[in-house]
Amino acid sequence: MNILRNEKGFALAFVLVLAAIALFLTLGMLYLAGTGSFVSGQQKRYRTAVEAGRGGMGAMLDLVSSRGNITTPFPNQVVTDPGKLGIKLTTRTGSWGSGVDSSLTINAADNNSYDMRIDLGPYRVYTKIVDAVEGNSGGDEGLLKTAVVNSGSGEIVVMGIPYLYTIEVLSQNQSSPTERSKLSVLYQY
């Protein structure tokens, strides 16, 4: 009976339990801090890839607005096939023909899977027109509100609807291809 009521060593066991709890709490906080830093770094790299994609998209939109003629070339800008790009810019998707790729995927290793490539710092941005819808003002706009017909009260003015292009953008770091972003853009011109 005296052995059961003996309190010798109880303080040691209690301190060991408290030390184990403190150790687990400390390890948990260190794990959360490390995970937070990792997630923060991943978000930073993703945001950088998105910004590179936006820059490449701007270069592609300049190319679309100039109808495939590079007026202000960007450094390291490469158009893979100007002829196919011209077909994509001036005709609707159904009229592209069998030699023009209209798939949604961009393969960085295959030059035929994208229309334009541009290097922006460590990032390489690939862009591709995957769909074109022709509106009523897509062709020649030569005699617009001038020439033979005067504006009068009975004249109905038709609102111009331009081409609509769906453009896919892939940006990835050249040294680490896992750092990448993909964008889909609907552009009206």
* Within a domain: 142: yes
Radius of gyration of the chain (CA): 31
* Within a domain: 3: no
What pLDDT does residue 138 have?
A: 47
Nearest C-alpha neighbor of 180 from the set 106, 111, 116: 106
- Contacts for 173 with CB less than 8 Å, ≥ 6 apart: 45, 49, 122, 123, 124, 179, 180
For residue 101, count CB atoms less than 10 angstroms from its CB and return exposed for 0-12, middle for 13-18, buried for 19 or more.
Answer: buried
Mean pLDDT of the chain: 81
Quick one: CA dihedral 96, 99, 105, 109, positive or negative?
negative
* Within a domain: 68: yes
Tell me the per-residue pLDDT of 34-84, one tens digit each, with 9 for 90 and over.
Answer: 888 888 888 888 889 899 999 889 888 888 888 777 766 777 788 888 888
CA distance 6 to 101: 86
What pLDDT does residue 3 have?
A: 65
CA distance 170 to 106: 7
* Within a domain: 1: no
* Within a domain: 105: yes
* Within a domain: 6: no
Give the DSSP letter of residue 107: -
Tell me the per-residue pLDDT of 83-109, one tens digit each, with 9 for 90 and over.
Answer: 888 888 888 888 887 778 778 788 888
- Kindly list the strands in the beta sheet with 77-79, ordered across the sheet, starting from the edge strand earlier in the chain: 77-79, 116-120, 123-133, 164-173, 180-188
| Other CB atoms within 10 A of residue 42 CB | 12
Tell me the per-residue pLDDT of 4-45, one tens digit each, with 9 for 90 and over.
Answer: 677 777 888 889 999 999 999 999 999 888 888 888 888 888
What pLDDT does residue 20 have?
A: 95
* Within a domain: 69: yes
* Within a domain: 140: yes
Q: Are strands 164-173 and 180-188 parallel, antiparallel or unpaired?
A: antiparallel
What's the residue count for the chain? 189
Query: Would you say residue 115 has pLDDT above 70?
Result: yes
What pLDDT does residue 126 have?
A: 92
| Domain extent at residue 146 | 13-188
Total domain count for the chain? 1
User: Which pLDDT band holds residue 145 (cuts at 50, 70, 90)?
Assistant: low
